Structure 1
Amino acid sequence: EGIVGAITGRAVYQGTLSFAEAQKLADKLSRKGEA
């Protein structure tokens, strides 16, 4: 959404951001917040 979405979308498109790795990190961080 907004600028974050634009930056993320471009990084995924350019191959400088691995969606799978980003999802793993997001899952890890969201689990940390549940404790």
Structure 2
Amino acid sequence: IADQDEHCKKFMEALIPEAFRKLQCSHPIDHWAGWL
């Protein structure tokens, strides 16, 4: 169980920042698209 938890933790640490980057990058594009 400890090994699975460690794997999950590493996966989330890698995934979450990437998800935030994608949200931050896509939000202004959606916002600008509304003004065009």
TM-score range normalised by the length of the shorter chain: 0.3 to 0.5
Greater length-normalized contact order (CA 8 Å, ≥ 6 residues apart): 1
TM-score by length of 2: 0.44
TM-score by length of 1: 0.44
